[in-house]
Amino acid sequence: MNEPSVTSGPAATLGERIAAEIATAGGWLPFDRFMQMALYAPGGGYYARDARQFGVLAKDGSDFVTAPELSPLFARALAAQIAESLAATGTDEVWEFGAGSGALAAGLIDALDALGQPLARYTIVDVSGALRARQQARLAAHGERVRWASQLPDALRGVVVGNEVLDAMPVKLLARRAGAWHERGVVLESNRPPALDGQAPAAIENEATRFAWHDRPTDLRPPLEVDGAHDYVTEIHPQARAFIATVAGLLQRGGAAAAYFIDYGFPEAEYYHPQRDAGTLVCHRAHRVDDDPLSDVGDKDITTHVNFTDVALAAQDAGLDVLGYTSQSRFLLNCGIAPLMEAADLPARATAMKLLAEHEMGELFKVIGFATPGHPPALGFAAGDRSHRL
Residue 14 CB coordination number (10 Å)? 22
Contact 211, 204 (CB under 8 A): yes
Name the phi and psi angles at 180, rounded to 5. -115, 140
Question: Three-state SS string across the chain, please?
Answer: CCCCCCCCCCCCCHHHHHHHHHHHCCCCEEHHHHHHHHHHCCCCCCCCCCCCCECCCHHHCCCECCHHHHCHHHHHHHHHHHHHHHHHHCCCEEEEECCCCCHHHHHHHHHHHHCCCCCCEEEEECCCHHHHHHHHHHCHHHHHHEEECCCCCCCCCEEEEEECCHHHCCCEEEEEECCEEEEEEEEEHHHCCCCCCCCCCCCEEECCEEEEEEEEECCCCCCCCCCCCCCEEEEECHHHHHHHHHHHHHHHHHCCEEEEEEEEEECHHHHCCCCCCCCCCEEEECCEEECCCCCCCCCCEEECCEEHHHHHHHHHHCCCEEEEEEEHHHHHHHCCHHHHHHCCCHHHHHHHHHHHCCCCCCCCEEEEEEECCCCCCCHHHCCCCCHHHC
Query: In the prediction, which pLDDT does 51 show?
Result: 65
What distance lies between CA 204 and its chain's CA centroid? Answer: 25
Domain ranges of the chain: 14-45+172-234, 58-170+237-287+296-389
Per-residue tens of pLDDT for the chain, all 390 residues: 343 444 455 557 999 999 999 999 999 999 999 999 999 999 899 888 776 676 566 667 676 689 999 999 999 999 999 999 999 999 999 999 999 889 999 999 999 999 999 999 999 998 877 788 889 999 999 999 999 998 899 999 999 999 999 999 999 999 999 999 999 999 998 766 655 444 444 444 443 478 999 999 999 999 999 999 999 999 999 999 999 999 999 999 998 999 999 999 999 999 999 999 999 999 998 889 899 999 999 899 999 999 999 999 999 999 999 999 999 999 999 999 999 999 999 999 999 999 999 999 999 999 999 999 999 999 999 999 999 999
- What's the pLDDT at 112? 98
The answer to whether 29 and 21 have CB atoms below 8 angstroms apart is yes
Report whether 381 contacts 328 (CB < 8 A). no
Domain 58-170+237-287+296-389 coded CATH 3.40.50.300: no
d(CA 198, CA 206): 24
pTM greater than 0.85 (yes/no) = yes
